[in-house]
Amino acid sequence: MEELGGGFSGIGVEFNTLNDTIIVVNTVSGGPAERVGLAPNDRIVTINGVDVVGLDRADVPKRLRGARGTKVTISVVRRGVSGKLDFILTRDDIPLNTVDAAYMLDGQTGYISTKYAKKGSRVYEAPEAAPAWVRPADALQMNYSIESASSKIETYKAQNSDVIGWIKVPNTANIDYPVLIAADNDYYLNRDFNKKKKTGGAIYMDYRNATAAGQRHIIVYGHNMQKSKVDFYYLHDYMNDQNFFNTTRIIQMEAFGKSEWEVFSVHQSEADPKLIQTHFTKNAQFVQFCQSLAAKSKWPTNVTFQPTDEILSLVTCDTNTKNDKYRVFIHARRVK
């Protein structure tokens, strides 16, 4: 944990390290990083001309922070852009807002959403969603020693350290797989569990879910393999059979702890980035997002969302149309 006193001077980025690479997860609104154009998924490769690939996570803030008004030069690699992009940033005060929101749920019950709980002079992470679920601190640091992990997760994790958990959809023939995670959403798109090139890819979680701030909406991707009927092939039953939808509402997942999710929406839509948003600046924005997903469902459900909710989306290719831009989305809300 870092010693903080309500704020610091820096560039205003939320980052993680994965496979020895510093990944920008989010930028602070109005901060230096956002102002110069740093973006989520940018990979920081040099800081002030020094190669930082392989730099220990704890040492990253020491390179990025400094006195207000001082400058720092950062080089990043961005998907779709050839070569490195160089940015010169002027450090500024970055506030740490410990309370995200506070309001009354009813006449007697209040809701407070916090990022940190302070004890003495040290800062401790606290859950930013339902108080009943405390995310393991090691998960926040990208160390996936999964809470109450089953033996099969540990077995698969020994073979591939990118294993983050397991997903199972009861009442399907074979949706019962380990879930992987990488530094971006392209790596396992065409690589199998053993990291070998394969058209069918693997079952993998959105890289943005690696941090607690991105776990309000967890997204898991998988191909729809028609010939072999593996991966997420049977998710299409949610679209094609209302009885299946009504009787197969629970999805089980073990990642950041064991959990169960109840399906509230299934729809066929274009691969729109708006449908896979993971970070929300306001609670009202998150609730509105959930309501919009429910409204898209082919089979309507009566569900009311709260700011404390967490949702899970399963995304696969749509074989009911010849347009490869379309996907099938299954959305579920955490119930346990």
Closest CA to 217 of 249, 180, 261, 178: 261
What does the DSSP assignment read for 93-157?
Answer: EEE--SEEEEEESSSS-EEEEESEEEETTEEEE--SS-TT----HHHHTT----TT--HHHHHHH
Q: What is the mean pLDDT of residues 44-69?
A: 89
Q: Please report the pLDDT score of residue 78 as a whole number.
A: 84
Q: What is the mean pLDDT of residues 244-266?
A: 91
Whether residue 53 is found in the same domain as residue 125: no
**Domain contains 1:** no
For the chain, what is the mean pLDDT?
A: 78
Whether residue 194 is found in the same domain as residue 218: yes
Name residues whose C-beta falls within 8 Å of residue 10's C-beta, 6 or more positions apart in sequence: 32, 61, 64, 65, 66, 91, 92, 94
**Domain contains 225:** yes
Q: Please report the pLDDT score of residue 334 as a whole number.
A: 94
State the pTM of this model: 0.59
Q: Please report the pLDDT score of residue 156 as a whole number.
A: 87
Cα separations in angstroms, 103 against 107, 280, 293, 296 = 11, 17, 25, 29
Name residues whose C-beta falls within 8 Å of residue 38's C-beta, 6 or more positions apart in sequence: 11, 13, 24, 27, 74, 76, 87, 89
Q: What is the mean pLDDT of residues 136-161?
A: 56
pLDDT of 124 > 50? The answer is: no
**Domain contains 146:** no
Name residues whose C-beta falls within 8 Å of residue 40's C-beta, 6 or more positions apart in sequence: 24, 25, 26, 27, 208
Q: What is the mean pLDDT of residues 270-280?
A: 89
Residue 77 belongs to domain spanning: 7-95
Whether residue 66 is found in the same domain as residue 157: no
Name residues whose C-beta falls within 8 Å of residue 181's C-beta, 6 or more positions apart in sequence: 18, 144, 162, 164, 204, 205, 207, 209, 210
**Domain contains 34:** yes
CA pseudo-torsion sign 197, 78, 162, 129: negative
Count of structural domains within the chain? 3
Cα Rg for the chain, rounded, in angstroms?
A: 21
**Domain contains 46:** yes
**Domain contains 2:** no
CATH of the domain at 83: 2.30.42.10
Whether residue 313 is found in the same domain as residue 187: yes
**Domain contains 145:** no
pLDDT of 143 > 60? The answer is: no
pLDDT tier for residue 125 given thresholds of 50, 70 and 90: very low
